[in-house]
Amino acid sequence: MPRAITEKDVRLMVEMIHAWPKSEPFKWESICNGAQSILGYEPSRQALHKKPALVNAYEVKKKHLRSEADKLSKVTRPRTTLDAMERIAKLQEENDQLKAEVQKMAEIANRFIYNATLWGLSRDKLMAPLPEKKKSQKGQ
Protein backbone atom coordinates (compact mmCIF):
# COMPACT_ATOMS: atom_id res chain seq x y z
CA MET A 1 0.00 0.00 0.00
CA PRO A 2 1.43 3.43 -0.94
CA ARG A 3 2.35 5.81 1.84
CA ALA A 4 0.26 8.87 2.63
CA ILE A 5 1.03 12.14 0.90
CA THR A 6 2.52 14.54 3.47
CA GLU A 7 2.44 18.33 3.48
CA LYS A 8 6.13 18.32 2.54
CA ASP A 9 5.31 16.12 -0.47
CA VAL A 10 2.53 18.53 -1.45
CA ARG A 11 4.93 21.50 -1.24
CA LEU A 12 7.48 19.69 -3.40
CA MET A 13 4.82 18.81 -5.97
CA VAL A 14 3.56 22.42 -6.01
CA GLU A 15 7.13 23.57 -6.70
CA MET A 16 7.36 20.95 -9.46
CA ILE A 17 4.16 22.31 -11.02
CA HIS A 18 5.39 25.92 -10.82
CA ALA A 19 8.66 24.95 -12.50
CA TRP A 20 6.99 22.78 -15.16
CA PRO A 21 8.99 22.95 -18.42
CA LYS A 22 7.21 24.41 -21.42
CA SER A 23 8.47 21.58 -23.61
CA GLU A 24 6.56 18.98 -21.58
CA PRO A 25 2.79 18.49 -21.91
CA PHE A 26 1.01 19.91 -18.87
CA LYS A 27 -1.74 17.51 -17.83
CA TRP A 28 -2.63 15.53 -14.73
CA GLU A 29 -1.16 12.29 -16.11
CA SER A 30 2.21 14.01 -16.55
CA ILE A 31 2.02 15.46 -13.04
CA CYS A 32 1.27 12.01 -11.62
CA ASN A 33 4.29 10.67 -13.50
CA GLY A 34 6.47 13.53 -12.20
CA ALA A 35 5.22 12.99 -8.64
CA GLN A 36 6.71 9.51 -8.75
CA SER A 37 10.18 10.97 -8.14
CA ILE A 38 8.87 12.70 -5.01
CA LEU A 39 6.66 9.96 -3.58
CA GLY A 40 8.45 6.84 -4.75
CA TYR A 41 5.30 5.63 -6.49
CA GLU A 42 3.00 7.06 -9.16
CA PRO A 43 -0.13 8.41 -7.48
CA SER A 44 -3.51 8.47 -9.13
CA ARG A 45 -5.02 11.68 -10.41
CA GLN A 46 -7.78 11.33 -7.85
CA ALA A 47 -5.24 11.14 -4.99
CA LEU A 48 -3.56 14.35 -6.15
CA HIS A 49 -6.88 16.04 -6.86
CA LYS A 50 -7.82 15.65 -3.16
CA LYS A 51 -5.07 18.13 -2.24
CA PRO A 52 -6.40 21.70 -2.69
CA ALA A 53 -2.89 23.15 -2.93
CA LEU A 54 -2.14 20.91 -5.92
CA VAL A 55 -5.43 21.72 -7.62
CA ASN A 56 -4.80 25.44 -7.12
CA ALA A 57 -1.21 25.19 -8.41
CA TYR A 58 -2.46 23.26 -11.45
CA GLU A 59 -5.17 25.81 -12.24
CA VAL A 60 -2.80 28.76 -11.82
CA LYS A 61 -0.16 27.17 -14.04
CA LYS A 62 -2.74 26.20 -16.67
CA LYS A 63 -4.12 29.76 -16.69
CA HIS A 64 -0.59 31.15 -17.03
CA LEU A 65 0.19 28.82 -19.94
CA ARG A 66 -3.05 29.80 -21.69
CA SER A 67 -2.37 33.52 -21.27
CA GLU A 68 1.13 33.06 -22.72
CA ALA A 69 -0.35 31.18 -25.68
CA ASP A 70 -2.90 33.97 -26.20
CA LYS A 71 -0.15 36.60 -26.16
CA LEU A 72 1.87 34.65 -28.71
CA SER A 73 -1.13 34.15 -30.97
CA LYS A 74 -1.64 37.93 -31.16
CA VAL A 75 1.91 38.54 -32.40
CA THR A 76 2.00 38.89 -36.16
CA ARG A 77 4.26 36.37 -37.78
CA PRO A 78 6.66 37.52 -40.48
CA ARG A 79 6.20 35.90 -43.87
CA THR A 80 9.88 35.33 -44.55
CA THR A 81 13.13 35.13 -42.67
CA LEU A 82 14.15 38.42 -44.27
CA ASP A 83 11.00 40.09 -42.90
CA ALA A 84 11.80 38.68 -39.46
CA MET A 85 15.38 39.93 -39.63
CA GLU A 86 14.23 43.40 -40.66
CA ARG A 87 11.70 43.49 -37.84
CA ILE A 88 14.33 42.39 -35.30
CA ALA A 89 16.77 45.03 -36.56
CA LYS A 90 14.08 47.72 -36.32
CA LEU A 91 13.17 46.66 -32.78
CA GLN A 92 16.83 46.60 -31.74
CA GLU A 93 17.31 50.10 -33.15
CA GLU A 94 14.23 51.32 -31.29
CA ASN A 95 15.45 49.64 -28.12
CA ASP A 96 18.85 51.31 -28.43
CA GLN A 97 17.20 54.71 -28.93
CA LEU A 98 15.01 54.22 -25.87
CA LYS A 99 18.01 53.17 -23.77
CA ALA A 100 19.86 56.32 -24.88
CA GLU A 101 16.84 58.47 -23.96
CA VAL A 102 16.57 56.86 -20.55
CA GLN A 103 20.27 57.43 -19.97
CA LYS A 104 19.94 61.12 -20.91
CA MET A 105 16.93 61.51 -18.65
CA ALA A 106 18.83 59.87 -15.76
CA GLU A 107 21.73 62.28 -16.32
CA ILE A 108 19.36 65.25 -16.27
CA ALA A 109 17.66 63.99 -13.11
CA ASN A 110 21.04 63.54 -11.41
CA ARG A 111 22.06 67.05 -12.48
CA PHE A 112 18.81 68.50 -11.08
CA ILE A 113 19.27 66.65 -7.80
CA TYR A 114 22.91 67.71 -7.51
CA ASN A 115 22.18 71.37 -8.24
CA ALA A 116 19.16 71.43 -5.98
CA THR A 117 21.24 69.96 -3.17
CA LEU A 118 23.86 72.67 -3.72
CA TRP A 119 21.14 75.29 -3.29
CA GLY A 120 19.82 73.74 -0.11
CA LEU A 121 16.99 71.51 -1.25
CA SER A 122 17.10 68.05 0.28
CA ARG A 123 16.57 64.90 -1.75
CA ASP A 124 13.41 64.22 0.31
CA LYS A 125 11.93 67.57 -0.68
CA LEU A 126 12.79 66.93 -4.30
CA MET A 127 11.17 63.51 -4.23
CA ALA A 128 8.00 64.70 -2.50
CA PRO A 129 4.85 63.77 -4.44
CA LEU A 130 3.16 66.37 -6.58
CA PRO A 131 0.15 68.05 -5.01
CA GLU A 132 -3.20 66.70 -6.10
CA LYS A 133 -5.22 68.89 -8.42
CA LYS A 134 -8.19 70.42 -6.71
CA LYS A 135 -11.46 69.47 -8.34
CA SER A 136 -13.37 72.50 -9.50
CA GLN A 137 -16.66 72.88 -7.76
CA LYS A 138 -19.52 73.62 -10.11
CA GLY A 139 -22.07 76.22 -9.14
CA GLN A 140 -19.87 78.16 -6.75
Percentage of the chain modeled with pLDDT above 70: 95
What are the tens digits of pLDDT across the range 82-122?
999 999 999 999 999 999 999 999 999 889 888 888 888 87
> Same structural domain for residues 70 and 30?
yes
Q: How far, in Å, CA of 30 to CA of 58, rounded? A: 12
Tell me, what's the pLDDT at 51? 92
Q: Is residue 134 part of a domain?
A: no
Q: Is residue 30 part of a domain?
A: yes
> Same structural domain for residues 60 and 98?
no
Amino acid in position 32 = C
Q: How far, in Å, CA of 60 to CA of 74, rounded? A: 21
Q: Which of 48, 74, 100 is the last residue of a domain?
A: 74
Domain span at 112: 81-126
Q: How far, in Å, CA of 11 to CA of 114, rounded? A: 50
Q: Which of 33, 57, 74 is the last residue of a domain?
A: 74
Quick check: pTM over 0.75?
no
> Same structural domain for residues 40 and 87?
no
